């Protein structure tokens, strides 16, 4: 039963962090399209690792993480007010390049030259 509560708390933290990030005025955070990829919370709610990715690439994500680390006190306080947690976890921000990586995979898949006739004949063979 505790696992369900931890999952709900993780999703609540992710949702509220997204809203808090929109309100930040740090130019390092506002200069890029920032997305929270994943949130991991320890079982005792003492630490929360937030994986952040930027559409502009890993360098922009690293710059945004510097801004998020400098505003972590404000973010943690806001998170405590919004979620009414007894103990607000310490936030650890980690940059990832998953958005750029997935965009590159999508570009490669779209560049494949698969004729439409082959797709139709494959569907007819399976039926």
3-14 tens-digit pLDDT: 788 889 899 999
Q: Is the pLDDT at 124 greater than 70, yes or no?
A: no
* pTM, two decimal places: 0.75
Asked if residue 115 has pLDDT above 60, the reply is: yes
The fold adopted by the segment(s) 2-97 is GMP Synthetase; Chain A, domain 3 (3.30.300)
For the segment 93-116, the average pLDDT, to the nearest whole number, is 82
What pLDDT was estimated at residue 31? Answer: 80
Residue 51, pLDDT score: 95
> b/e per residue, 90-124, with b = 16+ CB within 10 A?
ebebebbbbbbeeeeeeeeeeeeeeeeeeeeeeee
């Amino acid at each position: 039963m505790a696992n369900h509560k931890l999952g709900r708390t993780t999703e609540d933290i992710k949702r509220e962090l997204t809203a808090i990030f929109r309100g930040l005025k740090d130019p390092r955070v506002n200069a890029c399209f920032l997305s929270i990829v994943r949130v991991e919370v320890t079982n005792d709610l003492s630490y929360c690792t937030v994986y952040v990715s930027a559409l502009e690439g890993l360098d922009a994500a690293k710059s945004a993480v510097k801004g998020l680390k400098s505003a972590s006190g404000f973010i943690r306080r806001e998170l405590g007010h919004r979620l009414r947690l007894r103990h607000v976890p310490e936030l650890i921000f980690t940059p990832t390049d998953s958005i750029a990586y997935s965009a590159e995979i999508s570009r490669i898949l779209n560049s494949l030259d698969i004729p439409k006739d082959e797709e139709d004949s494959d569907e007819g063979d399976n039926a």
